[in-house]
Amino acid sequence: MNAMRALAELSIEEAIARTERAITHVGLGRAALATDGDGTLWTHDIGEALFDAVLDAGLVGEPARAALVAEADAHGVVISNRSDATAIARELFEAYVGLRFPEDRMCAAMSWCMAGVTTEVLDRFCAELLEGTFGLRHRLIAESNELLRYLSKRGVPVWLVSASPRAVVEAAAKVVAEIAGIDTPRVIAMTPRVVASTIAPATDGPWPYGEGKRAALEAELDGRVLVAAMGDNAFDVAMLRAARVPLAIRPKPALVHVAADVPALMRLATR
């Protein structure tokens, strides 16, 4: 077990200065920023918010039922009502909360549980959720968005890497860009399979969770170097470790617990 260590705090001004030194070292044309979304750029979890809204709206239906049952059976999750897709999804989530179903597989299921819905309908649903009940504009985290804004305007491309469903992460990226006055960050997220413009009960591409975050990001950087990365939880460690300036944003206890795995990790001071 790794020894826990206290995370020293870094002001936004010093974070910018350190990142500028990293940019000077690698060259502006090769620099990149990577950031998590939930708990890092905004408070709360947009994947779970979307999942709850999809369940409440009755968008989990027969096209997803067999895949949800298969997930439950593969991990020994007992389902009381195997004929109701919404009930299965709820029980699977309860199993995840109870540590009886893997988090990465729950993230994947959240991305395709609305199978049968068109991408157009889902995109509209996500935009309305973030502008409405979720209230994303009022959840943005000041310190991380300040660094994102600075580096983006400096000409450093931004990758938003999240295990939440792609549709809602892309919608959130647009809101962040609008408020910050920057180009929309490039999105790497949990991606459902799409067949004939309709969500299918499966995923495509790597799962951006844990080590998968680093691998998925590395595949897209095209030789760029992470001058900085921001995250809030233990499954951001692989991505944080790949950066010259790794920053913990309001870190969860799980990230603090494994901070020794990222020797250069520091906590960005709260604004």
* Tens digit of each residue's pLDDT (9 = 90 or more) over 107-150: 999 999 999 999 999 999 999 999 999 999 999 999 999 999 99
3-state SS, residue 201? strand
What the block records as the tokens of 140 is 């943005």
pLDDT band of residue 190 (cuts 50, 70, 90) is very high
| Integer CA distances (angstroms), 241 to 187, 226, 231, 244, 257, in order | 20, 10, 11, 8, 15
3-state SS, residue 210? coil
pLDDT band of residue 91 (cuts 50, 70, 90) is very high
Q: What pLDDT does 96 receive? A: 97
pLDDT digits (tens, 9 = 90+) for 167-185: 999 999 999 999 999 999 9
Q: What pLDDT does 5 receive? A: 59
- Do 156 and 225 form a contact (C-beta atoms < 8 A)? no
Tell me the CB-side half-sphere exposure of residue 185, using CA atoms within 13 A: 32
- What is the pLDDT of the chain when averaged over all its residues? 96
pLDDT band of residue 1 (cuts 50, 70, 90) is very low
Confidence check: pLDDT of 10 > 80: yes
Q: How far apart are CA 123 and CA 256, in angstroms?
A: 35
How many CB atoms are located within 10 Å of the residue 119 CB? 15
Tell me the CA end-to-end span of the chain in Å, nearest whole number: 33
Q: What pLDDT does 6 receive? A: 77
Q: Which residue has the tokens 């960005």?
A: 268
Q: What pLDDT does 128 receive? A: 98
pLDDT band of residue 105 (cuts 50, 70, 90) is very high
Strand pairing class (158-165; 198-203): unpaired
DSSP state of 118: B
Q: How far apart are CA 23 and CA 229, in angstroms?
A: 13
**Residue ranges of domains in the chain, CATH in brackets:** 9-46+137-268 (3.40.50.1000), 47-130 (no CATH)
Mean pLDDT of 193-199: 98
Q: Which amino acid is at 29?
A: G
Confidence check: pLDDT of 2 > 80: no
Q: What pLDDT does 3 receive? A: 46
Q: How far apart are CA 15 and CA 149, in angstroms?
A: 13
Q: What pLDDT does 191 receive? A: 98
pLDDT digits (tens, 9 = 90+) for 197-249: 999 999 999 999 999 999 999 999 999 999 999 999 999 999 999 999 999 99
Distant-in-sequence, close-in-space partners of 270: CB < 8 Å, separation ≥ 6: 142, 143, 250
How many CB atoms are located within 10 Å of the residue 5 CB? 13
Q: Which amino acid is at 83?
A: S
Mean pLDDT of 28-47: 98
